[in-house]
A and B are shown apart, each in its own frame.
Chain A
Amino acid sequence: MLILDILTTAAVLFIVSAGLLAIFGVLKIINFAHGAWLTIGAYCAVIVAGLGLNPWLALPLAFLVGGALGGVTEHFIVRPLYQRPLDAILATWGLGIVVGQLITLWFGRDVQFTPGLLSGTVDVFGISYSLYRLFALGAAVVIGLGFAFLLEGTRLGLTAQAVIMNETLAKGLGIDTGKVRLATFVIGTGLTALAGVLLTPLTSVDPTMGVAWLIGAFMLVMVAGSSFGALAVACLVFGGAQVIVSTFVSPILGGITVAVLCALVLRISPKGFARA
């Protein structure tokens, strides 16, 4: 039970942080509107449910909507700020507030409800466990492997890696870094919106739901640097610590475990878990 709790908690953290890491890794920009994109994704699930469609359709819809809005944001807001990362934090933070207010205006402040994607429990090693949490574990693995493939096995991934390593050189070699940035931002935001849909069976959907996840995701990404492998390790270690502290000490302390451990790790090893 404890092991399953740790694995699935880590999986949820990984799903939530992956989009933020993708953007931070390539663009060196911290997208503080991350929480807003999670919320956008979750409201895609609300819309799909409102139209009476199959709830699974929310996943591709959220990816498309999140990606499209991400593209617009990159073009108009983030692009002029690549050389000014601090201003970018401010701009995306502000954008997050604006998105939250627009959602409030459109859908109201109330908590929204979506049909569960998967319900019920299954027996694993003799204990009944939430089917959806196990599905989230699978989804995290798929996202992780998907990114590994994208980075290692495709042209886009190769150029993205070149941009990560040495942007000036990449530019000199004729790589259109602007396009790489746009593509990364679109994929990152699309993925974040998708994560928002995946969160709906676990949380309520309201205009501020993303904020609760933002800080945790941000901490994990700081520790992970720009590597998905490191993010997976960070999620496992910190998610595990959170579950263990919550179970055996106090859930209130468990809630701050991730933040405290991240601060400690960064103090001891400023590069975090990224050994690249």
Chain B
Amino acid sequence: MKLIKSLAMATALVGIATTAFAQDSDPIKIGVPVGLSGANSVVAPSVVQAAELAVEEINEEGGILGRTVTLEIADDQSGAAGAQKAFDSLVYQHEVDVIISMETSAARNAGLPIVSRGGVPYIYTSFYEGRSCNPYLFVNAWVPEQQVPPVVDQFMEKDGAKKFFLIGSDYAFGRGMLEFARKYIEDNGGEVVGEEYLPMDGSDWTAIISNLKSSGADALVTSTAGGAPNVTLTKQLRGAGVDLPYGNLAVDEGTAKTMGADAAGIYISASYVTGIDSDENKAFLKAMDDKFGEDLRTPNDLSVPQYEGVYLYKAAVEKAGSTDPDAVLAALAEVSFTGPRGAISMNKQHHAPLNMYLGQVQEDGSVTVVNTFQNVDPGEQCPNL
């Protein structure tokens, strides 16, 4: 009897020892919930590719604190319901050490309570409407305070525009962006002569375009949902012969390229364009090209922050000396990483000052950088954090 007992004790002890040992050599797991289906499915593959490159590079250099890094990709279906499942499975089943991902605002909001409960740091790598505050949440992409001013300034200073017309899709991001745009325009002596929204699945912009034409506006700023609504609006604007200075807050380089002549002349504002002239960006583009070849999805303003997000996490773990969530969270606010977009540090109330680029779409769909704004501050995003 005694023998059995001590045998059991010994096995238990060995068991504890092996788990403790495994903790140090187990891979660090990065959870990536992303919209592989639904509205984000067009851009999600490029985000996954960027994360894969970052992880491959880190593992080749010996991992993080000697541990290899693995990715757990989950489909959040671009919405709240899918995000709940994805976050639940990542946090509680796969027990990831961190979540790093580009997602819709609905998906982010659905995931936040789950990371809070599970105590998992969450680096959000998508630009968004701002003011999402949570001790576990860090954001390394832009907010309206960083993206809108370059476009409005350009129209006011270069085109002498005073009267602005705003058009958007009726959802949090569309309304949030234009709400800030209106405030910024009015604070700078401009006037908003119209602000109109269509539901996200709406496709008939006729009445809005007629209102725009009769409003006497001298510049147009739009913030629709990406993809279909953006294309529909731009086509119908061009069909109706609208040739005002046109700033589109929702178009990216890739979409502009496929839209070609319809997009010509549109101003875009982004923290990343492929034409950034830095060694880091060139090395990044070459590495992406070497790794994915023909399957490469063009890197963009959503996928590059994902790449940098993985490196920011690496820097934070190395600074903290472990993957302990509290230590990592403290370190995330201090570390910096110089990537394709320049030096990124999420040190402003969990948000990051960024270099912003104002680009104009050319006839062939390429984007020319018209102006660069260094270290644009995200403003007061989360004063209570």
> Chain A: residues with CB nearer than 8 A to chain B?
1-2, 5, 8-9, 12, 109-111, 113, 116, 119-121, 128-133, 201-204, 206, 209, 211-213, 242-243, 246-247, 250-252, 254-255
Cross-chain pair count, CB within 8 angstroms? 103
Mind listing 18 A-B residue pairs with CB under 8 Å? A9-B204, A111-B42, A111-B227, A113-B258, A113-B259, A129-B240, A133-B240, A201-B235, A202-B239, A203-B235, A204-B227, A204-B229, A204-B230, A247-B207, A247-B210, A250-B196, A252-B198, A255-B198
- Chain A neighbourhood of B202, CB < 8 A: 212, 251, 255
The residue among B208, B238, B239 with the most chain A CB atoms within 10 A of its own CB is B239
Cβ distance A88 to chain B, nearest Cβ, rounded Å: 26
Cβ distance A4 to chain B, nearest Cβ, rounded Å: 9
Cβ distance B88 to chain A, nearest Cβ, rounded Å: 25
Q: A121-B240, A252-B170, A252-B197 are in contact. Are A5 and B207 (CB under 8 A)?
A: yes
Inter-chain contact A246/B208, CB cutoff 8 Å = yes
Nearest-neighbor residue (CB-CB) of B257 within chain A: A113
Q: Once bound together, how far apart are the Cα atoms of A207 and B201, in whole Å?
A: 13
B211 CB-CB contact with A under 8 Å: yes
Inter-chain contact B203/A212, CB cutoff 8 Å = yes
Which are the 9 A-B pairs with shortest beta-carbon distances?
A246-B207, A204-B231, A121-B241, A204-B228, A130-B239, A247-B207, A130-B240, A203-B232, A203-B203
B188 CB-CB contact with A under 8 Å: no
- Chain B neighbourhood of A130, CB < 8 A: 236, 239-241
Would you give the 0/1 interface string for B194-223, flagging 1 where the beta carbon is closer than 8 Å to chain A?
A: 001111011111111011011000000000
- The B255-304 residues at the A interface (CB cut-off 8 A) are 255, 258-260, 262
Q: Once bound together, how far apart are the Cα atoms of A252 and B201, in whole Å?
A: 11
Inter-chain contact A251/B198, CB cutoff 8 Å = yes
Which of B41, B241, B260 sits near A113, CB closer than 8 Å?
A: B260
Q: Once bound together, how far apart are the Cα atoms of A80 and B213, in whole Å?
A: 52
Extra inter-chain contacts (6) besides given A2-B210, A130-B240, A202-B239, CB under 8 Å: A1-B213, A113-B259, A202-B204, A203-B231, A250-B196, A252-B198
- Chain B neighbourhood of A116, CB < 8 A: 235, 239, 262
Q: A111-B228, A247-B210 are in contact. Are A202 and B236 (CB under 8 A)?
A: yes
- The B1-41 residues at the A interface (CB cut-off 8 A) are 41
Which of B42, B196, B208, B211 sits near A110, CB closer than 8 Å?
A: B42
- Chain A neighbourhood of B240, CB < 8 A: 121, 129-130, 133
- Chain B neighbourhood of A255, CB < 8 A: 198-199, 202, 204
Nearest-neighbor residue (CB-CB) of B228 within chain A: A204
Cβ distance A237 to chain B, nearest Cβ, rounded Å: 16
- Chain A neighbourhood of B203, CB < 8 A: 202-204, 209, 212-213
**B contact residues, total (Cβ < 8 Å):** 36
Inter-chain contact A1/B207, CB cutoff 8 Å = no
Which of B205, B228, B238, B260 sits near A209, CB closer than 8 Å?
A: B228
- Chain B neighbourhood of A242, CB < 8 A: 204, 207
The residue among B204, B231, B238 with the most chain A CB atoms within 10 A of its own CB is B204
Q: Once bound together, how far apart are the Cα atoms of A178 and B201, in whole Å?
A: 38
- Chain B neighbourhood of A5, CB < 8 A: 206-207, 210
- Chain B neighbourhood of A1, CB < 8 A: 210, 213-214
Nearest-neighbor residue (CB-CB) of B213 within chain A: A1
Would you give the 0/1 interface string for B179-203, flagging 1 where the beta carbon is closer than 8 Å to chain A?
A: 0000000000000000011110111
Nearest-neighbor residue (CB-CB) of B234 within chain A: A204
Q: Once bound together, how far apart are the Cα atoms of A129 and B241, in whole Å?
A: 8
Nearest-neighbor residue (CB-CB) of A243 within chain B: B207
Q: A206-B227, A251-B196 are in contact. Are A133 and B211 (CB under 8 A)?
A: no
Q: Once bound together, how far apart are the Cα atoms of A116 and B239, in whole Å?
A: 9
- Chain B neighbourhood of A113, CB < 8 A: 231, 258-260, 262
Nearest-neighbor residue (CB-CB) of B254 within chain A: A110
Cβ distance B49 to chain A, nearest Cβ, rounded Å: 15
Q: Once bound together, how far apart are the Cα atoms of A128 and B243, in whole Å?
A: 12
Which of B204, B208, B235, B241 sits near A204, CB closer than 8 Å?
A: B235
Q: Once bound together, how far apart are the Cα atoms of A129 and B213, in whole Å?
A: 10
Q: Once bound together, how far apart are the Cα atoms of A243 and B210, in whole Å?
A: 10
Q: A2-B210, A206-B227, A246-B208 are in contact. Are A201 and B199 (CB under 8 A)?
A: no
- Chain B neighbourhood of A201, CB < 8 A: 235, 239
Nearest-neighbor residue (CB-CB) of A131 within chain B: B239
Inter-chain contact A8/B206, CB cutoff 8 Å = yes
- Chain A neighbourhood of B42, CB < 8 A: 109-111
Cβ distance A199 to chain B, nearest Cβ, rounded Å: 9
